[in-house]
A and B are shown apart, each in its own frame.
Chain A
């Protein structure tokens, strides 16, 4: 049996069928418990090129239009069907939870731009007075973890975005003018309202700026690789 290329994990099989993949190969589904994987037969990983990347994205977008919940798979996932089944079975719980989170939703990407990042939240007292060195260390590590997963620059936008943003992921770059990439999960029908809120609030961010793109299938809301 040949290897398969995996495009996305779905909550249900697309109807009437899954269509064709990036090499025009017919797609089919592999079911593992409540998870459905959309796959195509493929002997080896396709070359990374503008054409193959855009084709993979087009397949994922088409699938996203045909189902309620979709978790896009990273480009280049070629594996045997048994390896796929093992991987999905091992991570069934977190993948099912992630699918529930993204159901009916799309990703909006905000690039936070400016010359200077907003100051991080002030360092908290390490576990209260009398905390030992271990607790202080872990508290400091937690503060650093929070800093790298936070976008304080968006504070002025939070009031208007709060009702629209169902989940957020942040990648800090801190490489001016690119300070951070913020990924927001919003209900599909709330995308216009989201764009309006960002546009309307952008003046309040000055001298910082944001550039919004989307909607995208929810690539940034896949669970982390190793839990």
Chain B
């Protein structure tokens, strides 16, 4: 496991001196774009225990209905 600082802290460091073109790049790359990890790590006493993959669980009901209708 990496002991690097969290990405947010790394981002803040470069934001501190970013010129306007880098600010635009940060806006696009760090606040936009497809997110592929909708997961969470749960733990106790500082120890990570469970990795829960939420990305396959959450889906709007409308979409479920569409899929059901398609399946007949």
**Residues in chain A within 8 A of chain B (CB atoms):** 6, 9, 44-45, 47-50, 53-54, 56-57, 71-77, 79, 83-84, 86-87, 90-91, 93-95, 109, 181, 183, 213, 216-217, 219-220, 222-223, 225-227
Q: CB-CB contacts of B10-38 with A at 8 A, as 1s and 0s? A: 11001000100010111111101111111
Whether a CB of chain A sits under 8 angstroms from the CB of B69 is: no
B71 close to A (CB within 8 Å): no
29 contacts between A and B (CB under 8 A): A6-B36, A45-B7, A47-B4, A48-B7, A48-B11, A53-B22, A53-B26, A53-B30, A72-B28, A72-B33, A74-B34, A77-B37, A86-B56, A87-B37, A87-B55, A90-B59, A93-B63, A93-B67, A109-B27, A181-B27, A216-B24, A216-B28, A220-B28, A222-B33, A222-B34, A222-B35, A227-B58, A227-B60, A227-B63
Name A's interface SS: mixed
Q: Which residue of B lies closest to A47 (CB)?
A: B10
Number of A-B contacts (CB under 8 A): 105
Cα distance A59–B2 in the bound complex, in angstroms: 25
Interface residue B66 (Cβ < 8 Å from any Cβ of A): yes
